[in-house]
Amino acid sequence: MRRTRDEVDATLQIAKLNAAELLPTVHCLGFGPGACAAAGDFCLLELEPALCQQLEAGRSLVIRGDKDEKAVLCSKDKTYDLKIADTSNMLLFIPGCKTPDQMKMEETRCNIIHTEIFGFSNNYWEVRRCRPKLKKLKKLLMENTYEGPDSQKEKDSNHSKYTTEDLLDQIQASEEEIMAQLQVLNACEIGGYWRILEFDYEMKLLNHITQLVDSESWSFSKVPLNTCLQELGPLETEEMIGHCLECYGKKYTEEGEVYFELSADKVCRATAEMLLQNAVKFNLAEFQEVWQQSVPEGVITRLDQLKGLALVDRHSRPEIIFLLKVDDLPEDNQERFNSLFSLREKWTEEDIAPYIEDLCGEKQTIGALLTKYSRSSIQNGVKVYNSRRPIS
């Protein structure tokens, strides 16, 4: 049955509503005789304006995640958590329904529109910006590190390799976030596959370059690419020499010639990792002496170059240093703090900051994280932080 204007006016009168204060068009909703889409047949997704504009511009949003992972929504450059929000109001799907604002723009007489409800839902998906889940990226690439073109592994086709498309399919992050992390990991594309250099092979390449810099008396700020390729060509491929220069330096052009400005901090950091990787603990004074002797002449080593890579224990006698890489720690906030507090009961902000700064989301500070996951106290005049919960 279809309602008449008289029936609509009678309903308004019972509801004590003044028709003059309402828009002239009336929508009469009803479930039609055809099949109606039930809850679960469709999903509603609430998006922020920026994401809506991307869809309207013809770009894509991608849902990523394996069966054992919580799904995330990815745009070209950002990652969002997906969560179901329940609502007590039934949400109706009405094709071609016009909003009040659209009706105001049209000159319509007092009329009735009979509209058929296509479907309904009691919940919708909402998105919230989150950190990209990138730990899996390194895990996948470490399955088959690159040891050089002549290594036995390169002759064996059974080892796993990943293209850009493979990584986009498996990593819960946007394309730009994945590509940025590949740079952080010093990964390179070899034969269409992304690879991480095996650490000893990477250090071999770096040593070739720094020894050449030393023998030619070049400045770290002006290392010529072409000369490096010519001199080191008999030892390594041009592709790997160029990649190593990209990892440890910054490319620039001067008078048509390509140069690299090598980063002393990166060279010192890599050298320290090489020295610490096989030692459980290292006497700090002895380490600093060996470390300084191991870097090129004129380069100065400093402990602040090792933030997020190594930890110094000032309370032991003698003082010691040991390898503790931030990218080896759990990705989850609570698990990260549990891991750190199981390693050391009390931390200064200076010591713990390099190991939690990557957990900070948008508009979040290290101080806010420490307030949420730790308690502070004063020890010998210094503020320290310990866990809010017992650590087993």
In this prediction, residue 123 carries a pLDDT of 87
Contact 313, 319 (CB under 8 A): yes
In this prediction, residue 91 carries a pLDDT of 84
- What residue spans define the domains of the chain? 5-129, 134-196, 199-262, 282-387
In this prediction, residue 110 carries a pLDDT of 61
Q: What is the mean pLDDT of each run of 10 residues along the chain (392 residues)?
A: 81 86 80 59 86 92 90 94 89 80 68 79 89 94 92 78 94 96 95 95 96 93 95 94 96 94 97 92 95 94 96 93 95 94 94 94 88 93 91 72
Number of neighbouring beta carbons within 10 Å of residue 324: 19
Burial class for 341, CB neighbours closer than 10 Å (0-12, 13-18, 19+): buried
The highest-level CATH class for domain 199-262 is: mainly alpha
Q: Residue holding tokens 């999903």?
A: 43
In this prediction, residue 173 carries a pLDDT of 96
Structure tokens given for 50: 């920026």
In this prediction, residue 156 carries a pLDDT of 75
In this prediction, residue 153 carries a pLDDT of 79
DSSP collapsed to 3 states, 200-248: HHHHHHHHHHHHHHHHCCCCCCCEEHHHHHHHHCCCCCHHHHHHHHHHH
pTM for the predicted model, two decimal places: 0.83
308: left (phi over 0), alpha (psi -120 to 50) or beta: left
